[in-house]
Structure 1
Amino acid sequence: MVGVISSPPPSSFFYTNFSYHNTNPKLSFVRRISVKRRHRVLASVPDPAEGAKVEYTPWLVAGLGNPGNKYYGTRHNVGFEMVDSIAREVGITLNTIQSKALLGIGSIGSVPILLVKPQTFMNFSGESIGQLAAYYQVPLRHILLSYDEMSLPNGILRLSQKGGHGHHNGVKNVIEHLDGCRDFPRLCIGVGNPPGQMDMRAFLLQKFSWKEREQVDEALEQGVDAVRTLVLRGFNASINRFNLAQKYKFHKV
């Protein structure tokens, strides 16, 4: 059953903050704040050092895509698929509608996780992500965006701490709704380039071939492990090794 949380008044609303006693996270309503159309998030801070303790600040993991059966399984929707894969593996149900997004709340280990699939269509994804980041007080360094990337070969993943929008309209809109900040993590999923003179939009709205689908499914499994490592340990040597292994995944020596 899907629950619905109504949108807050434009001037103010209660947002949910994660508070902690020792290592046990819980949800509690804390105070009323004013929110403008674009939502300011907390500034980024240095990443945890190798071997540092787990940071119990919540993560918002958002996948970009288009809602509806028409777009299911297309290249442009692999961000949605990554969120679905994480949800299955860690046992989170996406059963709430909030801020024009499908939302699931749970944890990886003891770290609180928000899984988000904006339902605004790709080019307006930031409307949901900006509001949710402000509502749940998620710092910029813990907003992980997952989306399709044509500059990467099909089935290749890349985890990065920050970046530009790379002419991806969904990412561009997210940046706009995070006050122009670009310093948030990305999990890019390679879908390759259009063949010949094929139109880019037509290519992205196509479904994968059998071989491509096999590569993407494998990438989604590896992506879940990468996200789990990132959430529990931050950007460290394990993530660097992951990116290196992905870069040469299809190269035979």
Structure 2
Amino acid sequence: MADRRFLLAGLGNPGREYHLTRHNIGFLCIDHLADSHGWRIDSLKMQGLYCQGRLAGTQIFLVKPQTYMNRSGECIRSFLDYFKIPPEHLLVLHDDIDLAPGRIKLVARGGAGGHNGIRSIIRHLGTQEFARMKIGIGRPQVNPKGGGQPVDQFVLSRMSDDERALFDQRQSVIVEAIELFVREGIDTCMNRINRR
């Protein structure tokens, strides 16, 4: 049934130069979920790399918009419309600089919080009523003189080995949260995951 379809969208930028950057955490999460189920995200449709499968008896679509971060909403809106998926069955996975590295927080709705990918999705959907999984990357360190790496450079820089190890440790929680979202909805997902 169409109303039981879900879209899981990971945000990032296409191209090898962005592969392991902090801003591509969403792509990496979607890749890990696909790998854990033996799926391959290798089809191109509506400006997105995607695959489909079944999770908890439900048809799901995984997509990585290839539009670059600032235009993510174009691809996601097209997928929702084409596959007749309601916005309440959309979960967007993205980086968040206001959360400590490795922290995972689920929210049911809200503004963009300075994230250009989320801003684009809100603009194209015409609503803030869609679920997000925020994956913390922290902020750049400030040096003793009060300066530091600008945020835009920080998010587009590659993760350190320690950051990658931390991210790898959190993958099981990310997969658990996605499965909870599909099976039981965003409220249950928030209650169980956000307390950790």
When residues 98 and 243 of structure 1 are mapped into structure 2, their CA distance, relative to the original with a 3 A threshold, is same
Q: Aligned partners of 1:217, 1:128: CA distance in 2, in Å?
A: 27
What are the ranges of 5 or more consecutive residues in structure 2 without an aligned counterpart?
143-147
Alignment correspondent of 1:114: 61
- AA of the residue aligned to 2:128: R
TM score, norm. by length of structure 2: 0.93
Are the equivalent residues in 2 in contact too, given 1:90–1:107 (CA < 8 A)? no
Alignment correspondent of 2:152: 201
Equivalent in 132, 137, 155 of residue 84 of structure 2: 137
Alignment correspondent of 1:171: 118
1:192 aligns with 2:138: yes
Deviation, structure 1 residue 241? 2.6
Give the secondary structure class of the aligned counterpart of 1:92: coil
The total of aligned residue pairs comes to: 191
What are the ranges of 5 or more consecutive residues in structure 1 without an aligned counterpart?
1-17, 20-55, 246-253
Are the equivalent residues in 2 in contact too, given 1:81–1:220 (CA < 8 A)? no
Aligned-residue Cα RMSD (Å) equals 1.3
Q: Aligned partners of 1:153, 1:239: CA distance in 2, in Å?
A: 17
Deviation, structure 1 residue 236? 4.3
- AA of the residue aligned to 1:136: F
Q: Aligned partners of 1:68, 1:119: CA distance in 2, in Å?
A: 9
Q: Aligned partners of 2:166, 2:124: CA distance in 1, in Å?
A: 33
Deviations 1:100-121 (A, max 9, x none): 1001011102111000000011
Q: Aligned partners of 1:237, 1:111: CA distance in 2, in Å?
A: 17
1:74 aligns with 2:40: no
Give the secondary structure class of the aligned counterpart of 1:103: strand
Deviation, structure 1 residue 146? 0.4
- AA of the residue aligned to 2:168: D
Deviation, structure 1 residue 238? 5.4
Give the secondary structure class of the aligned counterpart of 1:66: coil
Deviations 1:167-221 (A, max 9, x none): 1011100111102x00100001000001122111110111112221111111222
Q: Please identify the structure whose Cα radius of gyration is greater.
A: 1
Q: Aligned partners of 1:136, 1:238: CA distance in 2, in Å?
A: 24
